[in-house]
Chains A and B, each alone.
Chain A
Amino acid sequence: MTAAAVAGQIGSINVRVRRRRRLVVAGLVAPALLVVCGALLVPALNLIVQSFLESSGYGGVVYHFTLSNYLDAIRDPTYRKVAWHSFGLGALAALICVVAGYPAAYFITFRLHHRWRNLALFLVVISLFTSYLVRLYAWYTILGGNGIVNTALIHLGVVKHPLLFLLFSRWAVLIAFVNVFLPFSVLMLTSAMQNIRPELLENARDLGASPLRTFSRIVLPLTMTGAVGAFTYTFILTSGDYITPSLLGGTSSTSLANIVSDEFVALGNRQAGAAISCVMLLIFFTVYLSLSRLERWKGI
């Protein structure tokens, strides 16, 4: 083989190796992508299509393009009221989780020694691993007519009859949301705070900054990403939660997610349910985008 021919062969090996690498990588990632496409994207597409079709009684569909599902969803005053309450509650839960999480995250990150910190975080993770339904159901034992709170209040003589509005109300839903999502918030904030070197805070203290100033000028901006992430995550998952309102909300507190769920299961109107959920997703997406802007905020 002439030198030139060999050199040419080596050059093409380079190209072949690169091409083979790309194929291998594509092959590795393909099955996972297939799962996501097959079990999520395709059904999602179908859902979007459905939202533009008409329903014909329970479970039936008429293949006729219409915007009525969307128009009904947007115009109906009940839906709008429920939407306000759902998103409002979700936002409130998210806000409480982030605000309440900050002091704990700060304490865990900067005031605890290494070993205690790991233990604290481990405890937080334990609470995440416990069954969601169990944590919801537990509030029956606390807020119920025969629950801890009422029994205590009666024993202490504060009230004569059990307060029945504690359970099956918007507040029970809120407390349950906070109870479930606070661990996430603490973990995300702790993780964001662990990127701040403690020397930074000591420096600020040296230069005369009060603890509050240190917090607002240094800790807050540097952990903004974590805080926004925790808020967005909590907001989206609580606003889309239909089980907690169903178990703890009673009849007065239906959420938008319940409406969707009912359209599907109770009423068999998949088309209306699809339209409402598409609107919800749009709202979530908008909130997510605007909050991402907030991440670059530099502090008070």
Chain B
Amino acid sequence: MTHRRPHVSGLAVYTVLLFLFLFAPIAFVVLFSFNKTAGLTFPFHGFSLRWYRAVFSSPTYRESIVASLRVALITVVVVVVVGTLAGIGLTRHAFRGSGAARGLLLFPAALPGLFVGIALLSFFVQTKVTLSLWTVTAGHLVYVLPYFVLVVTSRLQRFDYLLEEAARDLGAGPWTTFRRVTLPLIAPSLIAGALVVFSLSWDEVFITFFTIGAQNTLPLVIYSTVKQSVDPSVNAISTLLLAGSLVFIFSVRRLVVDLQQ
């Protein structure tokens, strides 16, 4: 197979078009967030930051961002702790139930949020629990856990256990070994996983729709705004979210690159 191709291959063109298809919608949203007029889209009359100002001065958006932040932070903390422990338990010694446990922990990733949402809602109604940010967090926990467990187990499977044996040989107990040898070495993966979890929770809407109480999270505010009215500030908040995602993904990438050394 030669690498000198006189023209660009059809496959290359196709792939570029595919990428355009993936990114075009987002590009337009960003474009229109700077639109001077009040239409959602065309005509485009000039650049303006008015929609960004609208977002920052709106109490609805501000409160929902705070609410989303609270839910995401608690979700991250719980999932990192619980997920790391589970990942270690699953990879350390094979035990009879490990395949089943692993399956149980991973399968919610392929379950549509609808089912988790209605199951939780029904459960809360039955047990007379008031819907609040806590009920939202419960849904996020179960949705996000499989992704983190996957990250942790995949890192631990590449981990050289001889390093732990060497530490034990030098006199370190199990907890000291974990703290001084294992943890520092898997930390980049854990942080990358935490960022992924944060991003998933931040964006979650399928389950949250059912478990939300009096306070709204940001995705729900966006959802109801889009459904009900023609409010171009949605373009602005969307662009801000996009910017945030980019920051996240670049941080994750830095950590993954560190990993590969």
Contacts and interface: CB of A to CB of B under 8 A. Distances in A.
Given A28-B88, A31-B82, A47 B122 contact: yes
A142 B25 contact: yes
A237 interface: yes
Residue among A39, A247, A261 having the largest count of chain B Cβ atoms under 10 Å: A39
A148 B31 CA distance: 12
Contacts of B88: 28
Interface string B211-250: 0000000010011001100000011001001100110110
Contacts of B179: none
A240 interface: yes
Interface string A93-136: 00000001001101110010000000010111111011111110
Interface residues of A, number: 83
B104 A183 contact: no
Contacts of B234: 137
Given A107-B15, A137-B226, A29 B90 contact: yes
B203 A131 contact: yes
B227 A257 contact: no
Interface stretch (B52-60, B112-120, B160-168): B112-120
Interface string B29-61: 100100000011111000000000000000000
A105 to B, nearest CB: 9
Interface stretch (A6-14, A19-27, A66-74, A292-300): A19-27
B141 A141 contact: no
A240 B123 contact: no
Contacts of B1: 202, 205
Nearest to B237: A134
Interface residues of B, number: 80
B118 A260 contact: yes
Contacts of A40: 108, 116, 119, 142
A21 B248 CA distance: 38
Contacts of B119: 40, 43-44, 46-47
Contacts, number: 239
A277 B82 contact: no
Contacts of A281: 115
B18 A138 contact: no
Given A32-B82, A141-B25, A182-B22, A270 B125 contact: yes
B145 A32 contact: yes
B223 A179 contact: no
A242 interface: yes
Contacts of A43: 119-120, 122-123
A225 interface: no
B29 A264 contact: no
A186 B22 CA distance: 11
B120 A237 contact: no
A179 B26 CA distance: 11
A147 B42 CA distance: 6
Contacts of A246: 227
Query: Closest 10 CB pairs between A and B?
Result: A240-B112, A28-B89, A138-B25, A32-B86, A43-B123, A29-B89, A43-B119, A39-B142, A134-B238, A107-B11
22 contacts: A27-B89, A32-B82, A36-B145, A39-B141, A39-B142, A40-B108, A43-B119, A44-B115, A44-B119, A50-B126, A59-B125, A107-B14, A120-B15, A123-B19, A133-B222, A137-B29, A141-B40, A146-B42, A236-B112, A243-B206, A265-B210, A274-B122
Interface of A: 21-22, 24-29, 31-33, 35-36, 38-40, 42-44, 46-47, 50, 59, 100, 103-104, 106-108, 111, 120, 122-127, 129-135, 137-142, 144, 146-148, 151, 179, 182-183, 186, 202, 205, 232-233, 236-237, 239-243, 246-247, 257, 260-261, 264-265, 270, 273-274, 277, 280-281
Interface of B: 1, 9, 11-12, 14-15, 18-19, 21-26, 28-29, 32, 39-43, 78, 81-83, 85-86, 88-90, 92-93, 95, 101, 104-105, 108, 110-116, 118-123, 125-126, 138-139, 141-142, 145, 149, 199, 203, 205-206, 209-210, 219, 222-223, 226-227, 234-235, 238, 241-242, 245-246, 248-249, 253
